[in-house]
Amino acid sequence: MTIPFPLKGFRLVAVVAIVFWVFCCVFALQRYFNFYPTYVAFDQGIFNQVFWNNLHGRWFESSLSSTESINVMDGDAPDVVYRRLGQHFTPALLVWLPFYALFQSPAGLSILQITLTTAAGLVLYALARHYHPPLLSAFIAISFYCANAVLGPTLANFHDISQLPLYLFGAFWALEKRKWWLFWSLAGLTLLVREDAGIGLFGIGMYLVLSRRQPVVGAVLGVLSVGYIVFVTNVMMPLFSEDISRRFMVEQFGQFIDDQEASTLEVLWAIVRQPHIFLRELFSPLDRTISYLLGQWLPLAFVPVLSPATWLLTAFPLLKILMQKDPDALSLHVRYALSLVPGLFYGSILWWAQHPLQFQPRIQNFWKVCIGLALVLTIASNPNRALSIVIPDSIQPWVYASPAQQVQHAQAIRTLMKEIPPDASVSATSFIVAHLSNRRSVVRYPEIRIREDDRQVRQVEFLIIDLWYPRLFGAVFDDEQRTLEGMERRMTMWLTKGNFGLVGFQDGVALMRSRTPSNPTALQAWEAFRQTIPKG
């Protein structure tokens, strides 16, 4: 009888997978429960509110997502009935609704994301075993768990792209085993992850056509992917809002267009008409582009550079990343980096299948060094500030919140949050808002208005603002200092005008309530804190 997972290889991968899962859970959850600021901390609240509303039959509604809509940018108030499908078309989230029902918290979403990535590594091992012996397959799987482009996004707040490696590794495995019902099911799920997930599938289709492995399957997959992207972005998403054409296309690809509004087809045509801009974007900035590619290749010992299959599989999602105006697109810590991972690893598996004799002790030792270096660089870079409990955010000048300080500060936030009723409308700073997102009416500071279910626009009842972390980071990061100064100005204005009263202030955290007299003790604590704010 054939054993599908040889004990020696699978045991090694299983141990690494368990360590990966525990490591990520410990550091992601401690950051969450300590309210530690991180990149796009706001997204954790958006996804949690979307899941929470889905659980109550209000499909994909989110007042938090509304705060980023073009309507709010035009001056309207965030709306509790706003459907996020106008910003990102993500029906695949419904697959995980039963899981969310067990936890119903943002912390549960972090566990879900880490579990999805861990499972993807195990499927990758099974995929590698289709071609390779246990040791080489284990090298490939361990490279996945140690890759910066995997660890960084996994330690980030929950994001929809975390589903892609599991679906695509599963689709590749089904392709190799000729299990077509599973292949097309997983391809369909991949399309439902996001409106742009079809870009990766299109690359897979082109690989199957050009390699002549499965030209018919590749052609169908390519046509299906392009057709789906065009249909969803030009027909479905505009039914919910104008964000795709008036915000996202302009923000991400505005260098190709002159208008303040453009569809995906108009952006594609603009790119075709302006090859000089296209070529400039591919290599600019050159240093960051090279660094990004080296970081993607490092854990696989640079084999992807040699693999034609890898270039075909990753070409289209890579082009999208390189053309984006978003300055964070070329960060290995950001979710976009994960979109290249399936193609990189599958292409490497195929290269090793053609060069099995190259897997010699000398190459194995070099590969071990690459894996170790990738892991060290990832940890040293403190991805998404998940390791800030042990790694300082800055050495010169020194910026570090000790575990005791983080716990004490988190306790102050929780004490004030207890004063907010579960059904009250509230505005909160980004890294607090996720903890308050299991409710209908919540927005992100500095927004203080909300359009509720009766269609009336009202001022939020509560406002909770954390000034402690901006003060801590302001010594190093200019944007944090500006944020802190803006918080002070707004609070002073609201208190002076009587929009809000200060009802609590602890450890740099302010709790304000609409049209309520201020607590004298809280005001005194606030004034004392103001004296510690550095002036720009």
Cα gap 156→413, rounded to integer Å: 22
Q: Quote the pTM value.
A: 0.95
The pLDDT assigned to 362 comes to 96
Residue 8 corresponds to which tokens in the numbers above?
A: 């020696």
The pLDDT assigned to 527 comes to 94
| Widest distance between CA atoms in the chain | 79
Task: Give the Å distances, CA to CA, from 102 to 99, 108, 415.
Answer: 5, 8, 26
The pLDDT assigned to 1 comes to 33
The pLDDT assigned to 3 comes to 42
Contacts of 114 (CB under 8 A, 6+ apart): 21, 24, 25, 28, 154
* Residue pair 522/503 in contact by the 8 Å Cβ criterion: yes
The pLDDT assigned to 6 comes to 52
The pLDDT assigned to 239 comes to 95
The pLDDT assigned to 7 comes to 52
The pLDDT assigned to 289 comes to 92
328 Rama sector, left if φ>0, alpha if ψ -120 to 50, beta otherwise: alpha
Q: Which residues pair with 394 in a beta bridge?
A: 399
Q: What is the mean pLDDT of each run of 10 residues along the chain (536 residues)?
A: 56 96 96 87 93 97 95 94 96 97 94 98 97 96 97 95 97 97 98 95 97 96 96 95 87 82 86 86 89 96 97 95 87 94 98 95 96 95 92 89 95 97 95 96 96 96 96 88 93 94 96 96 95 79
pLDDT digits (tens, 9 = 90+) for 430-475: 999 999 999 999 999 999 999 999 999 999 999 999 999 999 998 8
The pLDDT assigned to 5 comes to 47
Helix or strand (DSSP H, E) at 96 = none
pLDDT digits (tens, 9 = 90+) for 473-485: 988 888 889 999 9
